[in-house]
Structure 1
Amino acid sequence: MTPEIVILAMIAAFLGLRLYSVLGRRAEHEEEPIQGRFEGRQGQPGAARVPAPKPDAKTDDRNPARQAQRLREMPLAPPSVERGLAEIAQVDRRFDALAFLEGARSAYRMILEAFWKADKAELRALCDDDVYESFSAAIDARVEAGETMDNRLIRIEECAVTAAGIDNGLARITLRFRSDIAAVTRDADGHVVAGSLDDAIEAVDVWTFSRAVNSPDPDWLLDETDAA
C-alpha cells in the first residue's frame, strides 16, 4: 500500500469518526425508527402519515397563536433560539419546530447510514454541494484503500437547537447531537482494522440545516458540520 493511500485511509477514518458522532446513546435498546421525511411539518408529501384534522383557530399550525404554543412545547432553549425559530415560523407558515426536530433526528440517521454504506445518491439528496463533496471525497478515499465501514447507531441521546434564524431568505437551524456509535472499519479481506462493535463511542457534533423559505421544496439540506 502506497503512502498516499495510507494517508487517504487515515483521513477517511477520521471523517468517519466525526460523522458517526452525530446521534446519541442507547446502551440497552435499539433506537426506535423515526418515520417521515425531514421537512417543515406533518402532512407534507413524504412526511409521517398522520390524519390531518380540519384546520381551525386552535389546531391550525399556521395560526400565530398555535405557532407560539408549539414553540413553548420545545425543549428549553435560549431566548435567541426561540426568537430565531419564531422568525422562521413567521416567514414560512409550513414550518413546525417540533416536527423539524423529529425530522432532524431521522435525517441524521439517514445521512450517517448513507455515508457508512457509501451511498452517494442518498447523500446527494440530503446535503448541499460543499458537504456532499466532503462526504464523497471521504468515501472515495475509503474505496481506494479497500476499506468498508460496519457502523451501528446505538441511540440519539440529545438533539437540541443551538441557533436559528433567517439570513438573506435562507432559514438556518443548528443542532447539537450527542450520540453513541459502535464503529468498525474493515480491510478488503474483511479484517477489522479499527474500532469495535462491542464498545460504543460517545461523541458530540454540531450540524446546521438550511432551506430557502420561498422554495416550494419542503426538505432541508445539511449545509455545515462542526465538532462541538
Structure 2
Amino acid sequence: MIVEIVILAMIAAFLGLRLYAVLGRRPEQNEEPLRRRVEQPDPASTPRSLPPRLPEKTATAPRALPLPQDSQLDSRAEAGVRAIIGADRRFDVGQFLAGARGAYGMVLEAFWRGDKEDLSQLCDSDVYAGFAEAIDARAAAGEAITAKLIRIEEARIVDASYTAPRARITVSFVADVASVTRDASGAVVAGSLDDAIETRDVWTFSRDLTARDPDWVVDETDEG
C-alpha cells in the first residue's frame, strides 16, 4: 500500500514538472516560445478567398414621366393637354412633338419649292391660302428661294385646348435656317446658304378627335 502511494506521488510530481515546463517556464534566451514553434503556412501558397460577388444589375425599362414634362410643355398648356388626353387616350405628348417637328420641316420645304399640293395636305384652308399667295407673289417677281432647315433646336408646347370635338395645340419652334433669294437673273437678293439664321415660329396644330384621320394640320402660323 505504501509502495503504491509513493509511486502515485512520483507520477504526480513528474506531471507537475512537465506542465511547469510547458506553461509556466519562460523560454531561454535563444529559445522560441512553444506557440511560435508551430509552422505557419506560407501566405503565398494559401489561396485567398475572393470577396462575394455582387449580383449584376438588370436593365429595367424606363418609367414613363407624368405630366408636366418641363422640357416639352409650359405649365399653362398642361390643363389643355390633360383635356385632350381625356378625350383621346392614345394621345402622347412625345409622339405629338415628334410629328410636329416633322410637319414643321415638311411645310417649310414645300413652301420653299412652291409645292402647293403638299401644302394643301398639311395645312387647313386659311393657312394654305396664305402660303399659296406668297408663292404666287414670289413667282410674279421672278424670284426663287433656295433654303434648308439645318436643325430644330427646340419644339415646345406653349398652349393647348379642347373644345369637342376639336383639339388645338400651339408649339413654339426655335430652328436654324439657311436660305438665299435670287432674282430672275440669278443674282442674290437676300440671304446666304453659308450662314444659318435662328428662326422662331409659333404654329398651332388642330385635329378633330372623332375623325378617323389621325393627322394634325397647321391651322395658324405666327412668328415667335
Tell me, yes or no, whether TM beats 0.5.
Answer: yes
Quote the Cα distance in structure 2 between the aligned partners of 1:217 and 1:76: 25
CA–CA separation in structure 1 for the residues paired with 2:206 and 2:66 = 20
Partner-residue secondary structure (3-state), 2:106: helix
Give structure 1 stretches of 5+ with no counterpart: 1-58, 60-65
- Secondary structure of 1:222's counterpart equals strand
Q: Does 1:91 align with 2:107?
A: no
Given the alignment, which residue of 146, 154, 161 partners 1:150?
146
**C-alpha distance in 1 between matches for 2:72 and 2:212:** 30
- Deviation digits for residues 37-95 of structure 1 (CA, Å, limit 9, x no counterpart): xxxxxxxxxxxxxxxxxxxxxx9xxxxxx9x8454556253333122111101101231
| Residue-by-residue CA offset, 1:174-193 (whole Å, 9 max, x unaligned) | 01111111110112232211
1:86-165 to structure 2, matched below 5 A, reads 86-165=82-161
Alpha-carbon displacement from aligned partner over 1:123-171 (angstroms, at most 9, x marks no partner): 0000000000000000001111111110111110111000011024210
- Relative to the length of structure 1, the TM-score reads 0.67
Select which of 204, 215, 219 maps to 2:200.
Answer: 204
Give the equivalent residue in structure 2 for 1:180.
Answer: 176
Q: Does the CA contact (< 8 Å) of 2:113 and 2:145 recur in 1?
A: yes
Paired residues of 2:74 and 2:157 also in contact (CA < 8 A): no
Q: Identity rate of aligned residues, in percent?
A: 54
Q: Structure 2 vs 1, CA of residues 199 and 91 (structure 1 numbering), >3 Å: closer, same or farther?
A: same
- Indicate the larger mover: 129-138 or 83-92: 83-92
Classify 1:213/1:117 alpha carbon distance in 2 versus 1 (closer, same or farther; 3 Å): same
Question: Residue 128 of structure 2 aligns to a residue in which SS?
Answer: helix
Paired position in structure 2 for 1:75 = 71
TM superposition score normalised by structure 2: 0.68
Letter in 1 for 2:189: V
Structure 2 runs not aligned, ≥5 long: 1-60
**CA contact under 8 A between 1:182 and 1:196: conserved in structure 2?**
yes
Task: Indicate the SS of the match to 1:174.
Answer: strand
**Which residue does 1:39 correspond to in 2?**
none
C-alpha contact (below 8 Å) 1:70/1:96 kept by paired residues: no
How far apart, CA to CA, are the structure 2 residues paired with 1:75 and 1:172? 19
User: Highest CA radius of gyration, 1 or 2?
Assistant: 2
**Alpha-carbon offset, residue 204 of structure 1:** 1.1
Structure number with the bigger relative contact order (C-alpha 8 A, sep ≥ 6) is: 1
Residues 105, 70 of structure 1: CA spacing in aligned structure 2 closer, same or farther, 3 A cutoff? Answer: farther
